[in-house]
Chain A
Amino acid sequence: MLPEWLPWLLQVNDSQFPSGAYAHSMGLEELVQRGAVKNPDQLETFLQQQIIPGLLAFELPFLVKAHKVAACGDHANLRLLDEELDAWKLAVELRQASRQLGSRRLSLVQKLDPDPSLAAYGQSGAPCHHLIACALELRHLPVAAALCAFSLQSISGYAISSMKLMRLGQERCQLIIRAAMVSLAPHLEGLIAAPAERIGWFNPLLEIASMRHARANERLFIS
């Protein structure tokens, strides 16, 4: 039987969903300009060795917590997690990009499916990070679906922005996204079954790239 939430998940995860993600490279533009990621092979390595481990060690365990809190309707604790994300994101451009994407998503889903609870959170002055918005908009779905959705949004964001930064066709782009999701998916059940007590990831290169991108003389992407 078709899960009743599946059409919703497909719609809000569609690449045409106007969340504004197409305008962000999340620091990748600077890494390409620096020559640290030059071609599709290196992009694939970057995703496999730096982005997926970061998702598994930080964002996804954090999303498990946020999803649980959102599912309970506990907006006070969700706000605390939201504000904590401000502290985790040291690079101002990554912090603002996450807030912009999250706020935009919350606003859009609110229009598609008006929900006083979502509206109240969106208007509360909370940072509305992308991760928190995903937890809220997918709070009635199984957490595994929320983790898959957030992972796909993150990975495809890098891959699709790369098509404007290097010689990368649509077909290769989709192959890279597919390979990344195949690598990541087997770890999700473990994250849900045994939530990590200690989360966090080390990626100073991407942090510095984002910090430098914020002051670049010319750029294609907002972040």
Chain B
Amino acid sequence: MRGHLHLTASCYPAGQTYLREQSFRAPLHLSKPHEDAGALVVNIVNPTAGIFDGDAIELNVVAETGASIVLTTPSASRVYKSRSGGPAKVQQTFTVQAGAFLEFYPEPFIPQAGARYHQKTELRVASEGQLLYFDWLSPGRVASGEVFRYGELLWDLDVWTGEKLAARERYRLSPDDHSLDSLRLLHAQTHYLSCFVIGTESLPMAELEALNSPEVYLGHSPLSAGGFTVKVLCQDSLSARRTLRQLRDILYHSMSRQVPNLGRYM
């Protein structure tokens, strides 16, 4: 399938965020957005079983000046075994204008055995813009005995602050080489969390450090051109979910923002 989601979040003079433009095509769909804690919460829904080889999906989201938008997914993103040998492709661009806020908080990404997937992400944040971007990469369908048995994941990400490249990642993950070794060294079924925080002067170091435990190995660092990254290796899905939720709360508080409720209990 060739699907897309194009959103432009704008701001009424009274300060309320609304979707000025929206366009989507299967396999993507939007639930009815709701407002919470001053932000518009938008659930990106994939009503199909998941992502299949040959799928090409494009997300393009712009938060215009004054807008506050939270993008999330109600369930995990599953990528199924490639039948053709080719990948599924997702290209996503999140643009935050000056004075706007955007959060992307997806549920876990679960690549099943034999899955092939290529994700390209571009984050563009203007000065005075604020971004919280999360990724959660699971080892696969662990309960079914599928741990790091996907075929190939290509994971590309660029972060731009103003006109400067602040972060670049290009990963090729495959069980056929040593690319997963660092994930597997501490825990056999490591869940990997990645976060980029743009638009805050500092991070609450002590609170972040306190998230470390025998189950959680977390580090954080300023980027070269503004902003921060937080990287975490978690022992399992429970510790990953707990850490992600705590991390989100800590980062929201550090940005002096109320935490929008995503309507979940876990």
Contacts and interface: CB of A to CB of B under 8 A. Distances in A.
Interface of A: 34, 36, 49-50, 53, 57, 83-84, 86-93, 95, 198-212, 214-215
Contact of B219 (A83, A199, A201, A210): A210
Contacts of A83: 165
B205 A215 contact: yes
Interface string B176-219: 01111111011000001010000000000100010000000111
18 contacts: A57-B172, A83-B165, A84-B168, A86-B224, A87-B159, A87-B167, A87-B168, A87-B223, A90-B221, A199-B170, A200-B172, A201-B179, A202-B172, A202-B173, A204-B233, A205-B186, A206-B182, A212-B217
Contacts of B220: 211
Contact of B225 (A49, A53, A86, A92): A86
A208 B171 contact: no
Contacts of B159: 87
Classify the secondary structure of A's interface with B. Answer: helix
A209 to B, nearest CB: 7
A83 B224 CA distance: 9
A205 B178 contact: no
A200 B186 contact: no
Contacts of A84: 165, 168
Given A95-B224, A204-B231, A208-B219, A90 B171 contact: no
B166 interface: yes
B179 A89 contact: no
Contacts of A199: 170
Interface in B81-116: none
Given A204-B182, A205-B182, A207-B219, A87 B170 contact: no
B219 A36 contact: no
Nearest to B160: A87
B230 to A, nearest CB: 9
Contact of A87 (B186, B222, B225, B231): B225
Contact of A90 (B167, B186, B232): B167
A55 B181 CA distance: 15
A36 B185 contact: yes
A49 to B, nearest CB: 4
B233 A201 contact: no
A111 B217 CA distance: 43
Contacts of A87: 158-159, 165-168, 223-225
Q: Which 8 A-B pairs have the closest CB atoms?
A: A200-B170, A211-B219, A208-B219, A205-B182, A86-B224, A202-B171, A87-B168, A49-B178
A148 to B, nearest CB: 21
B181 A50 contact: yes
Contacts of B232: 208
A200 B167 CA distance: 13
Given A205-B186, A208-B217, A209-B219, A89 B224 contact: yes
B229 interface: yes
Contacts of A205: 182-183, 185-186, 217, 233
B21 interface: no
Contacts of A90: 167, 169, 221, 223, 229, 231
Q: Which one of B156, B169, B192, B225 has the greatest number of beta carbons of chain A within 10 Å?
A: B169
Interface in B144-177: 154-156, 158-159, 165-173, 177
A46 to B, nearest CB: 8
Nearest to A36: B185
A206 B233 CA distance: 11
A89 B192 CA distance: 18
Contacts of B194: 204
A127 B158 CA distance: 19
Nearest to A48: B178
A88 B177 contact: no
Nearest to A213: B219
A198 B156 CA distance: 10
Contacts of B185: 36, 205
